[in-house]
Amino acid sequence: MRYIYVVPVGEIEQDILETLREAIEKRFKVKCKVADPLEHPGYAYDSHRRQYGSTAILRKVKSILPRDALRVLGVADVDLYVPELNFVFGEAEIGGESAVISLYRLRPELYSSSPDEKLFRIRAIKEAVHELGHTFSLRHCPDPKCVMHFSNSLADTDIKSTDPCPRCESELSLSLERVGFWV
Ligand SMILES: [Zn+2]
Ligand SMILES: [Zn+2]
């Protein structure tokens, strides 16, 4: 039996981890476990940008890959970046084993809106499914409603659904079937 692991990167609320765990099991039809938390990602901090390098966190998450892991998804709560972009919601290895997302930019209160727990959770699910979708070889999709559409901003995230479009869904099924052969 192999699992998708959700790995807290630093201190992350249990509730949101459980929400993600359930959503991932339902979407990918693979058992999902929450792993023990990793340390706060101070090693990834860039003091000029005042942000955290997502690639360094991705490497760290990959380095703790449990033996029975099919995939690992790191869940951080810091502002992530890659050198080419102002920020990222997450990062993943296309067709690889690891992905990372951050909850940091997903809370309405960061943009002076009132807190909305439900909206926050839905955004987190979309980002988790999107990044894990990349690990199952899905690339960005032109359909703005598809979960694999690239989010340049939260408005893009809010437009898309938590599910892949029919074309991405069938690619995902193929990819999951291939995985099935080696479990
Ligand atoms: Zn993407
Ligand atoms: Zn699609």
- Domains of the chain, by residue range, sit at 3-182
To the question of domain 3-182 being in CATH 3.40.390.10, the answer is yes
From 91, 127, 131, 171, active-site residue: 131
The ligand whose atoms approach the alpha carbon of 135 most closely is 1
Please list the pLDDT of the chain residue by residue as tens digits (183 residues): 899 999 999 999 999 999 999 999 999 999 999 999 999 999 999 999 999 999 999 999 999 999 999 999 999 999 999 999 999 999 999 999 999 999 999 999 999 889 999 999 999 999 999 999 999 999 999 999 999 999 999 999 999 999 999 999 999 999 998 876 554
Ligand 1 center to 128 CA (angstroms): 10
Angle at 156 between CA 154 and CA 160, to 5 degrees: 115
C-alpha–C-alpha distance, residues 167 and 102, integer Å: 27
Ligand 2 center to 141 CA (angstroms): 4
Active site residue 131: yes
CB-CB contact of 140 with 146 (8 Å): no
Task: Give how far the C-alpha of residue 108 lies from the chain's centroid of Cα atoms, to the nearest Å.
Answer: 18
Residue carrying the six token digits 């598809």: 146
